């Protein structure tokens, strides 16, 4: 059975203090690994998809990387507007269609 574990559960950073969020996964075969951002009471907002180990993608202050067992979301010089819950999800190539299996998320708070 697919498993997605995110750590830490919560993270508090000072503005400008860089850090990384971790997503460990177990799947029969990885079709894709996804990162989403979710603000309170809103729907998840797509950030990145990674398909193979060694792949990296960047968007503004965010950079996502992928290995065979985990993915990292690096946040460089974060700003208060980066505060949100970051969700990691996997698509299993042997699973139900293209359904996403989500981790429980990392709640990030960036203070001025």
Partner 1 sequence: DSGVTQTPKHLITATGQRVTLRCSPRSGDLSVYWYQQSLDQGLQFLIQYYNGEERAKGNILERFSAQQFPDLHSELNLSSLELGDSALYFCASSVSSGGQETQYFGPGTRLLVL
Residues engaged in binding partner 1 (CB under 8 A): 31-32, 34, 36, 41-46, 49, 51, 87, 89, 91, 96-105
Task: Give least dist CB 19 to partner 1, A.
Answer: 22
Nearer to partner 1, 12 or 42 (CB): 42
Task: Give least dist CB 97 to partner 1, A.
Answer: 4
Nearer to partner 1, 40 or 112 (CB): 40
For residue 89, count CB atoms less than 10 angstroms from its CB and return exposed for 0-12, middle for 13-18, buried for 19 or more.
buried
Task: Give least dist CB 47 to partner 1, A.
Answer: 10
Give the Å distances, CA to CA, from 13 to 6, 62, 68, 111: 17, 15, 28, 6
Task: Give least dist CB 36 to partner 1, A.
Answer: 8
Nearer to partner 1, 65 or 91 (CB): 91
Q: Is 82 helix (H, G, I), strand (E, B) or coil?
A: helix
**Residue 74, both tokens:** 């690096």
Nearer to partner 1, 78 or 86 (CB): 86
What are residue 38's phi and psi, to 5 degrees? -130, 120
């Amino acid at each position: 059975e697919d498993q997605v574990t995110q750590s830490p559960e919560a993270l508090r950073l000072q503005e400008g203090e860089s850090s990384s969020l971790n997503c460990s996964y177990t799947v029969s075969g990885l079709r894709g690994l996804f990162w989403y951002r979710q603000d309170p009471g809103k729907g998840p907002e797509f950030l990145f998809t990674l398909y193979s180990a060694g792949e990296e993608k960047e968007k503004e202050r965010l950079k996502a990387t992928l290995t065979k067992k985990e993915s990292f979301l690096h946040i460089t010089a974060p700003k208060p507007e980066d505060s949100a819950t970051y969700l990691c999800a996997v698509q299993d190539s042997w699973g139900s269609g293209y359904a996403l299996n989500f981790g429980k998320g990392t709640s990030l708070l960036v203070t001025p």
